[in-house]
Amino acid sequence: MTKRALISVSDKTGITEFAKTLIKNGFEIISTGGTSALLKKEGIDVKDVSDITGFPEMMDGRVKTLHPKVHGGLLYLRENPGHVKQAEENGITAIDIVAVNLYPFRETVANPNVTLEDAIENIDIGGPTLLRSAAKNFASVTVICNPADYAAVADELNETGDISYDLKKKLAVKAFRHTADYDSAVDTFLSKALLDEKVKRLSFVGGEKLRYGENWHQEATFYKDLNGSGPNISNAKQLHGKELSYNNYIDMDNALLTLKDLNSENPAVVIVKHNNPCGLATGKTLKEAFLAAWDGDPISAYGSIVCVNRAFDVETAKLLDKKFIEIIVAPSFELEALEMLKKKSETLRIMELKNFDQPFDSEYVYKHVTGGLLEQTRDVGLFEKWEVVTNAPFPDSKKGLSEFAMSACKCIKSNSISIAYEYESGCYMLLGMGAGQPNRVDSIGKLAAPKARNNLKEMYDRNEELQKAMTYEEYVKQVFSECVMASDAFFPFDDSVVYANEFGLRYILSPGGSIRDAEVIETANRLGVSLVFTGMRHFLH
């Protein structure tokens, strides 16, 4: 019994080679329009679909495959005697393979100058119908909607002369997913063009059940964005450790965003706890950066997530002895370091995240709320301007530290404050942070500055040479006088500047924009504080 394949493709990549494979394996090829012309030009024996249907392709190609002799050949159940009898009575012959890809609708409407007429002409009708018919009867029909799958089908035909059920079902699901995404694109465009309504359809796949949600009694699932590329959590490969939970994904994402936004040329380490970077540092080596990041909040670092922007090396792995870490994320791991980490704990999750140096591929971020979805563009950038608004100068030598401080601040939950210190030439650390407070004064006076003092106390106590040189208070005064404090939003009153000055902080970054900016500037001038307005707010909720 002759096997038949129907080929009708807009993207003709690899189609000639695939057709030759089909011919070699005993298939008769049916084709349409431009595909048929191409295959014939390549010397491939092709039967036009009009020869099957008895009707010519008509209406500028709008009608060509929508016919019972095509769809009957796809849909009839081979094991159903009634179906077989009806097919024979009506001259319907089985079609065993369908290779179809669709008019380039999404590519067409991506052009900002596209006309409605052009968009409509690129809405495929027959193609999706062929794919759906073939996919519905996948037990008997192989459906291919992506040229990348030609090789898998060809390999099985060449090896066994047939196509496995496993491959057929995978291709069927891919076809239904493809037509669903295609219809969504049409809906999104026409809703806006015809009705002036915005529609957002999102597609995520591969739902993986997680250990639990935010809390033990909650269930959770992680879905992947098939179109996601570059450095994103869905592309991370787990090399070791127990299953991930909902909070693990949230924290890993925060860690990734923090380091990517930092964009450091030096080795950098971020330590994240409860969706906030509690430790962040750069260094000449990864070991140095890790030690400085850990010093940013040794208490909060317990049970944290560590993310680095370099290969995780042996010297850094040695530092984790007697330190409880939940997850380590790195672009790669030195082999010896990886073995050390595996031996450290059976539960430690080790995540390899390649392509770390690539940019994010998504322009938008989303947040689900009860009954709806919020969409916004990604928070890109640190400053819109650099305006020193006080009499006290803000040295250019502090700009690198200022960028580091604001990078940290924008990844901390609002109202956020970061205090950053250049502990070595060109190497920066997050010395203290205040997160998630209803008012900015508490973020400064109750969290960030006291935390920075406590961290300095631990650093002072273990440095005997430093203790000989100065008292602890002298050390704090010296360090704070060189730190940069960043605020994610403007100061509604001058009290934030007053509190910062009481702790000895002299260099402050703020977006500005308050109706009391003049009062804030006046207070800063009175106290001798240097204040820069950046013009860019970084709320994170």
Residue-wise burial string across 116-128, b where 16 or more C-beta atoms lie within 10 A, e elsewhere: eeebeebbbebbb
Asked if 136 is an active-site residue, the reply is yes
Q: Concatenate the DSSP letters of all residues of 454-518 into one string.
A: HHHHHHHHT-HHHHHHS-HHHHHHHHHTT-EEEESS--SSTHHHHHHHHTT--EEEE----TTHH
- Name the active-site residue from 170, 274, 342, 354: 274
Distance in angstroms (rounded) separating the CA atoms of residues 212 and 219: 5
Report the relative pairing of strands 304-308 and 325-330 from DSSP bridges: parallel
Residues 6+ apart with CB under 8 A from 90: 68, 69, 72
According to DSSP, residue 283 is labeled: -
CA distance 179 to 100: 11
Which amino acid, one-letter code, is at 419?
Answer: I
Would you state the torsion angle of the CA atoms of residues 473, 476, 477, 479, taken in this order, to the nearest 10 degrees? Answer: 160
Number of CB atoms found within 10 A of residue 66's CB: 14
End-to-end Cα separation, the chain, in angstroms? 65
Three-class HEC string of 158-195:
HHHCCCCHHHHHHHHHHHHHHHHHHHHHHHHHHHHHHH
Say if CB 277 and CB 412 are below 8 A apart: yes
- The amino acid at residue 522 is E
CB 182 within 8 A of CB 201: no
Set 3, 20, 83, 136: catalytic member? 136
**How far is 310 from 354, CA to CA, in rounded Å?**
10
CB count within 10 Å of CB 438 equals: 9
The answer to whether residue 71 is catalytic is no
Helices (H), 42-164: 49-53, 68-75, 81-89, 105-109, 116-121, 126-136, 150-160
Q: For helices 15-24 and 150-160, what crossing angle results, to 10°?
A: 20
Buried b (16+ CB within 10 A) or exposed e, 312-347: bbeebbeebeeeebbbbbbbebbeebbebbeebbee
Question: Tokens 């910062």 map to which residue?
Answer: 500
Tokens linked to 41: 């030009």
Which residues are catalytic, by number?
136, 274
